[in-house]
Chains A and B, each alone.
Chain A
Amino acid sequence: MKKIAKAKIDDLFKAISEKEVLYLPVDDAQGQAAFIPWKKGLKMSEDLNTGRSAKDLFFPQVESLVNFKMDGKKLEIIDAAREKDPFVIFGVRPCDAKSFEILDKVFYYSEPVDSFYIDRRDRSTVVVLACSAPEETCFCQAFGIDQSEAAGGDVSAWMDGETLYLKAVTEKGEALLEGLPLEDADDKAVDGLKKDMKAIMDKLPLKDLDLSKFGPGKTQELFDDPAWARLSESCLGCGTCTFVCPTCQCFDIKDFDGGKQIRRFRCWDSCMYSDFTQMSAGQPRPTQKERFRQRFMHKLVYYPDMHEGMFSCVGCGRCLRKCPIHMNIVKVIKTIGEEK
């Protein structure tokens, strides 16, 4: 365990950014935090979590796959430029750290591998910061996440009013902490802090969220639940929930013809949109009910079916805060499977 006084935290950021690019959650003018590269004068956001999740850094909203040059009947394939530099993400919350594990199962450990995602994961060092002030929209404990443990990254970090504590948990994490302006600390130094954090979590309104109706093998039981129609009735199909979600993985592949070259890029897409599955031959999810059901069934049943029971939600609460009609996964979890 290492530590540094919060008053000297800029020295730490400076030292890290001399080694690698350092991404830090920073508030913008509207008070929305986002991960941006640190430079002198930037302050780490004290807010709970970033407006958008940290998945952007591994699975960006838009990324080039390949370029083409077309000349009559002739076609040429040109590699898209790729970044090569290692980077550090500092201050990832435990829920978002868990989301990396969920995305890894899709992009890192499934064949064929996704070289774009893997490359970014391998170049990164993740510093996970325990949550000292979870919000009432947080329900990470429902998914087995202990926000006081700061697990899932290369370095675990804790912060109280005066001190930042850092503990390397992987070789990459050890390499990062080496040579930084840190003092030694006792592992027990954060015990009290952890206890306080757990106590806060136990007071949150969603602490008893029960997931036992969901999980592998529940498709037949839940698919035709009459409540899907009612819950989805007010859904606008705006897709906001999917864009702020740290685990949503759906994407589109599109071409942009810039005149000289054609750029093929991948961008986030949303199962909440009607044209997501629209074909000339028909539409398998014709109304918002089917699209709405798809999103939640995928997170709570289909993904667990495919990945040893793991849910594709981390309880970060972003969709609870951002949905314009106040519909969300918590309401779905509480409602579906209740009527018999």
Chain B
Amino acid sequence: MYQDALIPKLGVVTQIRVETPDVKTFRVIGIDGKKPFVHIPGQCAMLSIPGVGEALFSITSSPTVEEFIEFSIKKCGCVTDWLHSMEEGQEITIRGPYGNGFPVDTDFVGKDLLFVAGGIGLAPLHSVINYCRAHREKYGKIDVVYGSRSMADLVDYKEILDDWMKEDGIDVHLTIDNAQPEWDGHVGFVPNYVTELNPDVSKTVVMCGPPVMIKFTLAGLMDLGFDRKNIYTTLELKMKCAIGRCGRCNIGSKFVCKDGPVFRFDELDELPNEY
């Protein structure tokens, strides 16, 4: 068989979990029953259904999981719609991993980490949070601020309640946009909640969520005195090749697919504001 970066491998979807009304998590293994590849938290992979199309998704599972890789995917277009309608056992194609990933073994080591996520933005952070939990001794205190529209829209809610919230050294702060009778936690938008929590400026921040959440959370962190060099986020642009050639995700001299998707805000300041 020909080898080329654009030619995918076969994968099998062995489990599909319903997370929220519009998010499902897909477990994928190779056709040989093994994990398709080894990745770094924050990296992405191309999934495709031949005849429908190919699209890039962030890998949700931690590299420490050895049996499979998982993707939490929101239904919002042609490919995701098809993925949401398929059944377990479906063969799909997969290629990757792509992108730079988070500096979990360099810049993050020894730091207190503050993860800020909104809605499906938890997907790329899930991988890095679980990686840090698995290598707990390498990092300082871990805080997670996570918000969504409603309780039903919280992705990985069960895992957060059963595992993350019960662990020492990790504080999870959940919030939903509007009050609900069965919710006794915080109510309000993520940016305000982050400011209310008044995090120490020595923390390294990792943010992922809708642009409006990123914009206001960043402004709040700037007011608190954070350094843009210590704040990371991931960018999302349309991609076809994922290897820096098709031209879609080009911003200045960078391609989000290969030079990103993880960027520090001081790096983004150097790029044209076109994302």
Contact = CB atoms under 8 A, between A and B. Distances in A.
Partners in one complex: yes
Interface of A: 65-66, 68, 70, 73-75, 77, 79-80, 82, 106-107, 110, 112-116, 219, 223, 249-255, 257, 262, 264, 266, 269, 271, 276-282, 284-285, 290, 294, 297-298, 301-302, 305-306
B93 interface: yes
Nearest to A70: B50
Contact of B4 (A68, A74, A114): A114
A264 B93 CA distance: 12
B248 interface: yes
Interface stretch (B34-42, B51-59, B99-107, B141-149): B51-59
**Contact residues of B: prevailing secondary structure:** loop
A269 B6 contact: no
A106 B245 contact: yes
A277 B238 contact: yes
Contact of A277 (B6, B48, B90, B248): B248
Contacts of A266: 6
B244 A262 contact: no
A255 B53 CA distance: 6
Contact of B245 (A79, A249, A285): A249
17 contacts: A66-B8, A68-B51, A70-B50, A75-B91, A77-B93, A82-B2, A115-B4, A219-B253, A249-B247, A250-B247, A250-B248, A255-B52, A255-B54, A262-B50, A269-B240, A297-B272, A302-B253
B237 interface: yes
Interface in B114-141: none
A73 B274 contact: no
Nearest to A279: B238
A275 B248 CA distance: 10
Nearest to B273: A223
Contacts of A262: 50-51
Interface string B1-28: 1111111111000000000000000000
**Nearest 8 Cβ contacts at the A-B interface:** A250-B247, A305-B253, A68-B50, A75-B91, A112-B5, A257-B51, A262-B50, A280-B76
Contacts of B89: 73
Interface in B205-241: 211, 236-238, 240-241
B181 interface: no
Given A251-B245, A252-B246, A77 B1 contact: yes
B237 A65 contact: no
Contacts of A306: 253
A269 B243 contact: no
User: Considering residues B53, B240, B248, B275, which has the most beta carbons from chain A within 10 angstroms of its beta carbon?
Assistant: B248
Given A114-B5, A279-B238, 14 more contacts: A73-B90, A75-B50, A110-B245, A113-B5, A249-B247, A250-B247, A253-B6, A253-B241, A253-B246, A255-B50, A255-B52, A279-B237, A285-B274, A302-B253
Contacts of B10: 75, 77
B43 to A, nearest CB: 15
A75 B93 contact: yes
A280 B79 CA distance: 11
A326 B156 CA distance: 55
Contacts of B7: 65-66, 77
Contacts of B244: 110
A188 B102 CA distance: 61
A271 B1 contact: no
Given A73-B91, A77-B10, A223-B272, A253 B245 contact: no
A167 B175 CA distance: 74
Q: Considering residues B236, B244, B272, which has the most beta carbons from chain A within 10 angstroms of its beta carbon? A: B272
B83 to A, nearest CB: 13
B61 interface: no
Contacts of A66: 2, 6-8
Most buried by A among B6, B10, B236: B6
Contacts of B6: 65-66, 114, 253, 266
A266 B247 CA distance: 13
Given A219-B253, A271-B247, A75 B92 contact: yes
Contacts of B247: 249-251, 269, 271, 276, 298
A334 B211 CA distance: 36
A302 B274 CA distance: 14
A262 to B, nearest CB: 4
Interface in B36-86: 48, 50-54, 76-77
A280 B238 CA distance: 9
Contacts of B252: 219, 223, 302, 305
B250 interface: yes
A8 B87 CA distance: 68
Contact of A269 (B8, B246, B250, B271): B246
Contacts of A219: 252-253, 271-272
Nearest to A250: B247
Nearest to A72: B90
